[in-house]
Structure 1
Amino acid sequence: MRKPVFLFAAPAMAVAALSGGTISAHAAEVQMQASGPVVELGVSETVLADPDMATVGAGVTTRAPTASQAMQENARKMTAVVERIAALGIPDDRIQTTGISLNPRYDYRNDDVPQFLGYDATNNVRIELRDMERVGAVLDALVEAGATNLSGPDFGLIDPKSAQAQARRAAFQRGMTQATELARMAVSYTGVRLLSVEEAVSENRPMQRDMIVVTASRREGASSPVKPGQVGTVVMLTLKYEMTR
């Protein structure tokens, strides 16, 4: 997700800031003059945190000879799944329908005319869970209620702002250190002046680490094993500096 660009100028110049939750932003709105060499760096930092949110997808697919029958049967079974979700204590505002579809199905295995198999009706919902200890039990309960489609869980942070700020500070400091080192490696330059900053944030990306990869056989009466591990919030900065004497 692209964040606004902030341009930092000398005291005599205005500071330009483009606000809003735009997907992309460009630094072409303000041009700053640099008399010395310019160095541009791409710096990223990742902050790991324990997730406090998980999203799972659940739904039902049914097949029937007619479209009407497929939809009716799907509605009956999906209602049972939704009622089970509510019985688990999950608030309505954490449940969202993500798609309803109805499609004819054919068997194309023969060279002759395809054989009509019926209509497939599908209804899927997205569920946000806040109790990491119950994720496996919730998945099992959804299957028991009749869910035929499961996806996830996808782990994340309810409020990633603190992790973003920590990653941003680390990336900015590392960029300044690298730019200063480059300037001092050049002849006659001792420091740098910041010209512009562009930021991009990747929130709550699961970190693939050996310690969170779990393989376990299902024990009778036990919930499906789920290990949330940690998620990483990544801040990427594009920094431009002018070398100064």
Structure 2
Amino acid sequence: MIRTTFALAAAAIAVPAAAADVQVTSQGPLVELSVTETVKAKPDLAEVSAGVTTQAPTAVAAMQANAKAMDAVIQRIKVLGIAAEDIQTTGINLGAQYDYDQATQRQVFRGYQASNRVSVTLRKIDRTGSVLDALVAAGATDIGGPSFSIDDDTASRAQARKAAFDKAQVQASEYARWAGYSGVRLLSISEAVNPGRPMPYAEGRVAMAADMKQTPVEPGLVGTAVTISVTFEMTR
């Protein structure tokens, strides 16, 4: 977690040499709050994954068969107009496979299994269903996703930040009033920064349709959350 801390000049601040957090002193009682607000918005990115699994008597044969099948899937992805930077290999695996013989109660070697998986970012989310169908048609034996997000969440994050601060200020003022004080003065504020993409608020839904229809996909909404920690001083 990254913490960015701002302190008003009017506050008296002491920072010990080995301290990790800023320590704030004040004349009146303090109100310390942690508030999280989430802003929902329509996503504009979808991430799906596709993989190929092959089996063969030898490790070399399994890997060669997998490479041929996976190349067909990747070429299909590129034909769909997806940029190279939006295609990323996420895993290549090879392992021996065994069956359990009940009669002898022993593991019996049956060959090798190879798998390869790629992640694909779609910048036109209305194509998600057709892309999934195309990947399966190209030879993908397993698919995953979609996971929806917002490419630039700056505006949503700013809205969530303001909503969190407004809520914290209202709550602090209420505490002050209940304690017999007339108001509050902001001493410090810090924000927990999440460098990742916005979290899914409502998972997109994928349903494999019958009769060769295009796979329907509902992107729903994604939420951008901001958490702030604030310290207010109660004032007369």
TM-score (normalised: structure 2): 0.89
Contact 2:205 2:217 in 1 (8 A): no
Q: CA deviation at 1:166?
A: 0.7
Q: Does 1:172 align with 2:171?
A: no
Mapped to 2, the partners of 1:193 and 1:86 lie a distance apart of: 54
Counterpart of 2:111 in structure 1 is 118
Q: Does 1:187 align with 2:180?
A: yes
Mapped to 2, the partners of 1:203 and 1:75 lie a distance apart of: 31
Counterpart of 2:214 in structure 1 is 223
Match of 2:37 among 40, 45, 50: 45
Mapped to 1, the partners of 2:209 and 2:159 lie a distance apart of: 39
Counterpart of 2:3 in structure 1 is 4
Counterpart of 1:76 in structure 2 is 68
Counterpart of 1:20 in structure 2 is none
Select the structure that is richer in strand.
Answer: 2
Mapped to 2, the partners of 1:195 and 1:85 lie a distance apart of: 50
**1:143-162 paired onto structure 2 within 5 Å:** 143-162=136-155
- For 1:148, give the aligned amino acid: T
**1:76-155 paired onto structure 2 within 5 Å:** 76-108=68-100, 110=102, 112-155=105-148
Q: Does 1:204 align with 2:193?
A: no
Deviations 1:40-81 (A, max 9, x none): 212111111111000001110111111100000000000000
Mapped to 2, the partners of 1:29 and 1:232 lie a distance apart of: 29
The count of corresponding residues between Structure 1 and Structure 2 is: 230
Could you list the runs of 5+ residues in structure 1 that have no partner in the other structure? Answer: 17-26
Q: CA deviation at 1:242?
A: 1.9
Mapped to 2, the partners of 1:195 and 1:81 lie a distance apart of: 53
CA pair 188-141 structure 1, distance change in 2 beyond 3 A? closer
Contact 1:180 1:190 in 2 (8 A): yes
Deviations 1:56-114 (A, max 9, x none): 01110111111100000000000000010011010101000001110111123626210
Range with greater deviation from structure 2 (113-122 or 188-197): 188-197
Contact 2:52 2:70 in 1 (8 A): yes
Mapped to 1, the partners of 2:44 and 2:27 lie a distance apart of: 49
* Aligned-CA RMSD value: 2.3
% identical aligned pairs: 46
TM-score (normalised: structure 1): 0.86
